[in-house]
């Protein structure tokens, strides 16, 4: 029940921000849509709704967004340079990286962060082994520890504080 209420509040807040400036018609539709979504998917939203009370999680998320955008910007420049300069090395391959994240949400955020960063793509996740398989446009190291440090570490330490 609490997860549905939290999802309703978050959904209505987002609806209000997207339909700014608020008016009565949009507010009524927002209540209906947020209530419907909360009713249908509320039990899927989180398995630990009490974690939403921890304010530090939101502060870490605010920190995560610029870190992700900076990494994405750097990767965009790197891929663009490789496209524009055919002499730059491209050594594509799939590498195995480790993760200590356990929750589905944290793993999803990590995999999406890697995939949304140009030059890398999350191919598979093995929850039992705690590893991800990443396609990398220019493999700098096939060593699992080194690849983990280069690809995963910058996202994982922040996501751990947000989701676990």
Residue closest to 52 by CA, chosen among 66, 42, 39:
42
Q: Which residue has the tokens 């330490």?
A: 157
Chain segment 13-25, per-residue pLDDT in tens:
999 998 888 889 9
Chain segment 114-138, per-residue pLDDT in tens:
999 999 999 999 988 889 999 999 9
| pLDDT band at residue 51 under the 50/70/90 scheme | low
82 contacts: CB under 8 Å, gap ≥ 6: 88, 90, 137, 138
What tokens appear for 116 in the block?
């949304």
């Amino acid at each position: 029940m609490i997860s549905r209420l939290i999802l309703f509040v978050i959904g209505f807040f987002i609806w209000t921000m997207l339909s700014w400036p608020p008016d009565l018609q949009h507010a009524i539709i927002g209540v209906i849509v947020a209530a419907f979504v909360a009713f249908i998917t509320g039990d899927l939203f989180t398995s630990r709704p009490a974690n939403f009370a921890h304010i530090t999680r939101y502060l870490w998320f605010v920190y995560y967004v610029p870190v992700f955008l900076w990494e994405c910007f750097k990767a965009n420049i790197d891929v663009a340079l490789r496209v524009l300069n055919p002499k730059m090395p491209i050594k594509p391959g799939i590498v195995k990286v480790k993760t200590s994240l356990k929750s589905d949400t944290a793993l999803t955020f990590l995999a999406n962060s890697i995939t949304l960063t140009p030059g890398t793509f999350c191919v598979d996740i093995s929850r039992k082994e705690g590893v991800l398989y990443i396609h990398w446009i220019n493999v700098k190291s096939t060593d699992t520890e080194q690849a983990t440090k280069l690809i995963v570490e910058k996202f994982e330490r922040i996501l751990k504080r947000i989701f676990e």
